[in-house]
Amino acid sequence: MKMKEIRQNNLKMLADGFKNQRAFADAIESTPGYVSQLIIGTCSFGEKVARKIEKLLNLPDNYMDVIHDQKLEDLKLNKIFFDNNLTVGPDNKGDVPVISWVQAGAWCEAVDNFNVGDAERWIPCPVAHSKHTYALKVRGDSMVAPYGSSISFPEGTLIYVDPEVPLVSGKKVIAKLLDSNEVTFKVYREESGKKWLVPLNPQYDKIELVEGMHVCGVVIFMGSDV
């Protein structure tokens, strides 16, 4: 088989594991139309595209260039934000507590004071995480991205928050607002010497991260509550 045909077959196999082509396109930061063109061979499927797909799906280097006989359920994609699109879920890396937003605010500055009995319930976390990781249900629509964006967080989405993950510009975070226990879910950005909490929904304003505010943790995974 030619390299292009191998990549086409691998792409189709990966796409078939998602609930629909839109979900797969979002996962590889593309569009359904472009994915279709790659699969049927009406556009170029070069090195750059293949490497990008591998990186976004956490696949081994040069995975797209090799013929695979294994079934989809044998793949270990473990993508941080793949939101349960695969037909077979990832391995459980340990349970974490589902807590309220009020608890998240109170817990933000005193992680070790959290009591197991305070959690609404415990759920499995499919990625590696620290012992202080917790889960929240998204509220509101400030993190609902415009149509066609690679990822979005509608109300009710479960997000897994790890307070021990290093803070880097571009990470999605939970932050405690000034002079209150209220916490918010935003994208952390560093721009022109300032720090910002930026919504995905363009209808909302970004918030400058100033003294008195506190980042409670980095979102390491998202999923649906089923």
Around Cβ 160, how many Cβ atoms within 10 Å? 23
For residues 68 and 121, membership in a common domain is answered with no
For residue range 30-53, what is the model confidence (pLDDT) as tens digits?
Answer: 898 899 999 988 989 999 999 998
User: pTM value?
Assistant: 0.59
Token representation of residue 142: 């400030």
End position of a domain, from candidates 42, 74, 106: 74
For residues 131 and 193, membership in a common domain is answered with yes
Residue 82 lies in a domain: no
Residue whose C-alpha is closest to residue 86's, from 57, 56, 51:
57
End position of a domain, from candidates 74, 108, 128: 74
Strands (E), 50-155: 95-98, 121-124, 134-137
For residues 47 and 134, membership in a common domain is answered with no
Residue 201 lies in a domain: yes
The residue range of the domain holding 31 is: 3-74
Q: Domain total for the chain?
A: 2
Residue 112 lies in a domain: yes
For residue range 154-188, what is the model confidence (pLDDT) as tens digits?
Answer: 888 899 999 988 888 888 999 998 777 789 999 99
Q: What angle do CA 147, 25, 134 make, to 5 degrees?
A: 80
For residues 9 and 58, membership in a common domain is answered with yes
Residue 88 lies in a domain: no
